[in-house]
A and B are shown apart, each in its own frame.
Chain A
Amino acid sequence: MSLLLALPLVVLAQQQGIAARLDGRVPATVAAVAESLGTAARARGLPIDPLIQKAIEGGAKGVPAERVSAALRLVVAQLDTAAAGLRAADVTPDTLAIAAGAFAITAGLNGGDVASIARSTSRADAALVVGLRVAGTLAALGVPPQQSADLVSATLASGRPATDLLALPGRVQAEMARGVPAAQAAAGLARAAAAAAAQGRHGPPPGRGQPPSHPTPPQHP
Chain B
Amino acid sequence: MPPETGAADGEIVRAVLAGDRERYAELVERYRDRYARYAARMLGSADAAEDAVQDAFVRAFDQLAQCKEPDKFVGWFFLILRNRCFAERRRSKSSASLEAAEGVAAADRTDGHTESNERRRALQLALLELTPDQREVFVLKHVEGLSYVEIAERLSTSVPSLKMRMHRAYDRLREQLREHA
B168 is an interface residue with CB less than 8 A from chain A: no
Chain A, residues 179-221, CB within 8 Å of chain B (1/0): the string is 0000000000000000000000000000000000111110110
Across the interface, which residues of A come within 8 angstroms of B65, CB to CB? 213-214
B59 is an interface residue with CB less than 8 A from chain A: yes
Across the interface, which residues of A come within 8 angstroms of B17, CB to CB? 214
Across the interface, which residues of A come within 8 angstroms of B55, CB to CB? 219
Q: Which residue of A lies closest to B21 (CB)?
A: A215
Across the interface, which residues of A come within 8 angstroms of B63, CB to CB? 216
B62 is an interface residue with CB less than 8 A from chain A: yes
Q: Which residue of B lies closest to A217 (CB)?
A: B62
Q: Which residue of A lies closest to B58 (CB)?
A: A219
Q: Which residue of B lies closest to A218 (CB)?
A: B62
B73 is an interface residue with CB less than 8 A from chain A: no
B61 is an interface residue with CB less than 8 A from chain A: yes
**Bound-state Cα–Cα, A216 to B63, Å:** 7
CB distance from B21 to the nearest CB of A (A): 9
**Bound-state Cα–Cα, A215 to B55, Å:** 15
CB distance from A28 to the nearest CB of B (A): 49
**Bound-state Cα–Cα, A129 to B61, Å:** 38
CB distance from B77 to the nearest CB of A (A): 16
Does A219 lie within 8 Å of B59, measured CB to CB? yes
Across the interface, which residues of A come within 8 angstroms of B62, CB to CB? 215-217, 219
**Bound-state Cα–Cα, A220 to B51, Å:** 12
Which residues 29-88 in B have Cβ within 8 Å of A in the complex? 55, 58-59, 61-65
CB distance from A217 to the nearest CB of B (A): 6
**Bound-state Cα–Cα, A220 to B17, Å:** 20
Across the interface, which residues of B come within 8 angstroms of A213, CB to CB? 65
Q: Which residue of B lies closest to A215 (CB)?
A: B62
Which residues 99-132 in A have Cβ within 8 Å of B in the complex? none
Which residues 13-29 in B have Cβ within 8 Å of A in the complex? 17
CB distance from B92 to the nearest CB of A (A): 15
Query: Footprint of B on A, CB under 8 Å?
Result: 213-217, 219-220
A sample of 5 cross-chain residue pairs with beta-carbon separation below 8 angstroms, ordered by A number, consists of: A213-B65, A214-B64, A214-B65, A215-B61, A215-B62
If A213-B65, A216-B62, A220-B58 are given as contacts, then 11 extra A-B residue pairs at C-beta distance below 8 Å, sorted by A number, are A214-B17, A214-B64, A214-B65, A215-B61, A215-B62, A216-B63, A217-B62, A219-B55, A219-B58, A219-B59, A219-B62
